[in-house]
Amino acid sequence: MGIWVLFFIILYAVSSSFSHTVKLRKVPGPWLYAATRFRLALDAWRAKSIHSVNKLHRKYGPAVRIGPNEISFNSLSALRTIYGAGSGFERTSFYQMFDVYGRPNLFTFASGKLHRERKKLISHIYANQTVLGANASQLVKRKVAEYLTLLEREPALGREIFASLHYFSFDAISEFVYGPDHGGTSALSGSKQSRELIQDILNPARRRLAWFAVYFPAYTKWITTRTGLLERVLTSMGLMPMRKPFTYSGIRQHALKAFYSFRNAPGAVQAKSAESTVIGRLFKVRNDADLSDMDIASECADHLLAGIDTTSDSLMFMIWALSLPHHEKSQDKLREELSHISVDNQGSPEPKDLTQLPYLNAVVRESLRLYAPLPAFEPRSSPVDTLIDGYEIPAGTIVGMSPYCLHRDESVYPDPLAFRPERWLTDSGTLIPESDLRNRYFWAFSSGARMCIGMHLANAEMLTLLAALYRKYKTSAKLPDTSPGITSRFEIFHDETMPKMVEHECLIDFAELGAR
């Protein structure tokens, strides 16, 4: 009897797998990608998986099979189906690598229900009205002023904007999450301790560690937890994906200390920060929301981590693009627009005033289109069979899209590799309406319920720094034939029109214009 039960279980599994495979065989794509997930893994090892997927879309169309159980889409209809409001698609186990202290958080929750419940607790802190209000605006303006001071005090460090902009974004997000006294950092003002905290983030070797974590998670967990003699032997043999400290290890230790510092603060201090910091808000609602200490610590640490690379990498590409010789007219046009705004005695404008400047916003949007800080594939899966762009997608199939591919659709963005802020403006010079197809394809901050919660804060930081910077300086690229490259998970992204690329470095010359 037991043998027959086992036989029918195996028969059902095989027939289900065969049915699954037959349905996916209708999706176009190269046979080798469909046969094994390690064909795409090879592209990822070469830091070119999304580049390869984009080429496949150009060849096969808006739906491409990129693995035995994985489909990449590149259409507006698929975007709504997979990521739109009310979508039944959930995040896959891929995101578990971003859990902190063993606890899931807003970014890693697979369940849409758990994500919504957590998001409700802190959405007010990130609302545009809050970010453009007095507390957050003053924070952003202070950090912008400190960045301008760094350019004067440490010009050699300042001109390498990959690192110096990381200091800016680190100081801004750490204070926004924890406040100045319980985790706020001082990298801009020269704190050696603060600057050392993000050295593992600046290390390009982190992408190799991310690759192993995705494709060989059990091996990665085992090898990265070795200590003593075995660790030294494995490292000497070149088997360790990345030398310690591993990516984010310093940041996570700092975040945990910041959590305990805030937890031990007087109740009056905690209550006062409830409307101005992420951790203050979470402490205020922790009993009603049944949040444990590690729930709060994980959530805050994730917000801290998420706000560093994204903002700094975006700003770096914006400044670099404006600093190229063939974009000098764009920089001049931006400076002309900025010459009419008011600033405080430190040269910083009000963030809320900058949302009304068409060309400044067009520069930011075009930079995010070309150089999205998280341009890679965002995997999802559905617990039930679904129909996407006419294809039957069995339950459990991994589907997704990427900003990199969407933003290079020639039918929406003609000459997609060109940096042209004007594509976001009408003939009269105003920003194109939100309903325009170009805006509907714009996906730098994702969309739907999972849209980046920190979007308004990031925009405030980027707009304010650019405005203050280009009122004071004219910038030029030290190496105009070389694109900077950023690490995003296990990819390297850069401007592919450039003949050269250097990873995690960008040299910019700043020429002061004089007092206005």
Residue 365 lies in a domain: no
Looking at residue 170, its amino acid is F
Backbone angles phi, psi at 477, to 5 degrees: -75, 130
Predicted confidence at residue 242, as pLDDT, reads: 59
Number of domains in the chain: 1
For residue 126, what are the CA distances in angstroms to 85, 257, 276, 296? 19, 23, 10, 17
Reported confidence tier of residue 219, pLDDT bands at 50, 70, 90: confident
CB 419 within 8 A of CB 321: yes
Residue 345: burial class (beta carbons within 10 Å; 0-12, 13-18, 19+): exposed
Residue 89 lies in a domain: yes
Reported confidence tier of residue 1, pLDDT bands at 50, 70, 90: very low
Alpha helices, DSSP H, located in 290-341: 293-323, 328-338
Render pLDDT for 400-454 as a digit per residue (tens, 0 to 9): 999 999 999 999 999 999 999 999 999 999 999 999 999 999 999 998 888 899 9
Predicted confidence at residue 515, as pLDDT, reads: 46
Predicted confidence at residue 20, as pLDDT, reads: 58
Render pLDDT for 7-24 as a digit per residue (tens, 0 to 9): 444 444 444 444 456 789
Residue 92 lies in a domain: yes
Predicted confidence at residue 199, as pLDDT, reads: 83
Predicted confidence at residue 346, as pLDDT, reads: 81
Separation between Cα atoms, residue 416 and residue 300, nearest integer Å = 37
Residue 5 lies in a domain: yes
Residue 170 lies in a domain: no
Separation between Cα atoms, residue 26 and residue 7, nearest integer Å = 29
Reported confidence tier of residue 225, pLDDT bands at 50, 70, 90: confident
CB 443 within 8 A of CB 79: yes
> To which H or E segment does residue 82 belong?
helix 76-83
Render pLDDT for 325-368 as a digit per residue (tens, 0 to 9): 999 999 999 999 999 998 888 878 999 999 999 999 999 999 99
Q: What angle do helix axes 293-323 and 328-338 make, rounded to 10 degrees?
A: 110
For residue 144, what are the CA distances in angstroms to 149, 307, 341, 354, 356? 9, 16, 16, 14, 19
| Percent of the chain that is helix, strand, coil (3-state, to 5) | 55, 10, 35
Predicted confidence at residue 3, as pLDDT, reads: 54
Which residues make up each annotated binding site for heme? 452
Residue 80 lies in a domain: yes
Residue 247 lies in a domain: no
Which residues make up each annotated binding site? 452
Q: What is the pTM of this model?
A: 0.91
Domain around 89: 1-97+381-407
Residue 178 lies in a domain: no
